[in-house]
Amino acid sequence: MNNTTAQYNGVISTCEDVFLKKAADYGTSWRMLRPISIVDQIYIKAWRIRQIQENKGVQKIEDSIESEFSGIINYGYIALIQAGLDDKAPLDLPVDTVKELYDVQVDSVRELMLKKNHDYGEAWRNMSQESFADLILTKLLRIKQILANDGKTVISEGIDANFCDIINYAIFALILIEEQKNK
């Protein structure tokens, strides 16, 4: 588990670095995104990954599968940050505030990963890249249905839990991609 935690933290460090640099460049323009728009942004990235997989790696745009998974992670954190802010929060947030908000969500999602990893015995290490893309797409469709139901569920997990799972699936995918490269 120690290797997993170190690998996990490495992925997060890389994603957070990009996130904060974009916040310095663009500000917090993402604050304009409603939940469905965040879902659609993640969907576009996950669908592109699936298309590249189905086309046996043939692609016409240079952005890598890794960069798409990283984007999924950061949009997932945007969703969680947005959900944690009230309606009175300003649209423009300073980068240091964004870092604090990002880090709070990272800690929460990491804690969930550690608990699930314990119970599931790191089963994700035996999963395919295709499964990660498919599971992310499935979670997105679930979120869309929950949003269509005004955020209410009868028995199922809520929107935030699905975004946490999406983030963790994308992180696991990046860990496995990196391990493949190092073989």
pLDDT at 4: 96
Give yes or no for residue 2 having a pLDDT over 70: no
Rounded Cα gap, residues 178 and 183, in angstroms: 9
Question: Tokens 């959900």 belong to which residue?
Answer: 83
Q: Span 10-19, mean pLDDT?
A: 98
Tell me what the mean pLDDT of segment 42-53 comes to. 98
- Interatomic CA distance for residues 113 and 49, integer angstroms: 23
Tally the domains of the chain: 1
Which of 116, 43, 31, 47 minimizes the C-alpha distance to 79? 31
The closest alpha carbon to 109, from 180, 30, 11, belongs to 11
pTM for the whole thing?
0.97
For residue 183, what pLDDT is reported? 86
- The pLDDT value recorded for residue 47 is 98
In one letter, which amino acid is 58? V
Q: Which pLDDT band, with edges at 50, 70 and 90, does 180 fall under?
A: very high
Q: What is the distance between the alpha carbons of residues 145 and 73, in angstroms, rounded to a whole number? A: 21
Task: Domain of residue 28: give its range.
Answer: 2-181
What pLDDT band is residue 1 in, cutting at 50, 70 and 90?
low
